[in-house]
């Protein structure tokens, strides 16, 4: 019933060895190319080129840059994203955020000054990725 481990308030994840909250960080000046998957929160101040699968909160700082798809529970964006951004819960685009790509989320907060160029899908159930070519277009092409 009682647990003496310290928990991360944002997602309840704690490092079992130290009892400290677990968060992954990419510092300013660091460039990562490749796909990343984590069970914890993820903070990006450098640049990432590839797909991100974050089971916690994904934080893109003002100096952070991501080129690729991001899937996360929550997202807090102040930097630049060129790609699809999908969150299961809440997404915040801060005043310095610049997102080029589609957004899918349950809750969206956009601060004045944020830039967003793409489509936005919101609701309780996240839509599946659409086919590039619609069924009726496929039939016309086949003829």
Half-sphere exposure of 75 (CA within 13 A, CB side): 34
For the segment 66-73, the average pLDDT, to the nearest whole number, is: 97
H-helix or E-strand spanning residue 136: helix 135-142
In a 10 Å sphere around its CB, with 0-12 CB exposed, 13-18 middle and 19+ buried, how is residue 90 labelled? middle
Residues 6+ apart with CB under 8 A from 31: 46, 47, 48, 49
Question: What is the model's pLDDT at position 6?
Answer: 44
Question: What is the model's pLDDT at position 19?
Answer: 58
Q: Using a cut of 0.85, tell me whether the model's pTM lies above it.
A: no
Higher pLDDT, 48 or 125: 48
Considering only CA atoms, which of 73, 24, 71 is closest in space to residue 44? Answer: 24
Residue-wise pLDDT tens digits, 98-112: 999 999 999 999 999
Question: What is the model's pLDDT at position 8?
Answer: 44
């Amino acid at each position: 019933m009682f647990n003496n481990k310290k928990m991360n308030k944002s997602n309840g994840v704690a490092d079992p060895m130290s009892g400290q909250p677990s968060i992954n960080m990419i510092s300013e000046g660091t460039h990562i190319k490749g796909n990343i998957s984590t069970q914890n929160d993820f903070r990006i101040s450098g640049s990432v080129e590839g797909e991100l699968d974050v089971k916690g909160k994904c934080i893109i700082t003002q100096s952070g840059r991501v080129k690729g798809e991001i899937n996360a529970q929550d997202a807090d964006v102040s930097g630049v994203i060129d790609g699809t951004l999908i969150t299961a819960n809440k997404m915040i685009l801060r005043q310095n955020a610049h997102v080029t790509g589609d957004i899918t989320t349950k809750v969206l907060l956009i601060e004045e000054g944020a830039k967003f160029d793409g489509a936005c899908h919101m609701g309780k159930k996240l839509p599946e990725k659409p086919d590039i070519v619609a069924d009726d277009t496929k039939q016309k092409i086949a003829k």
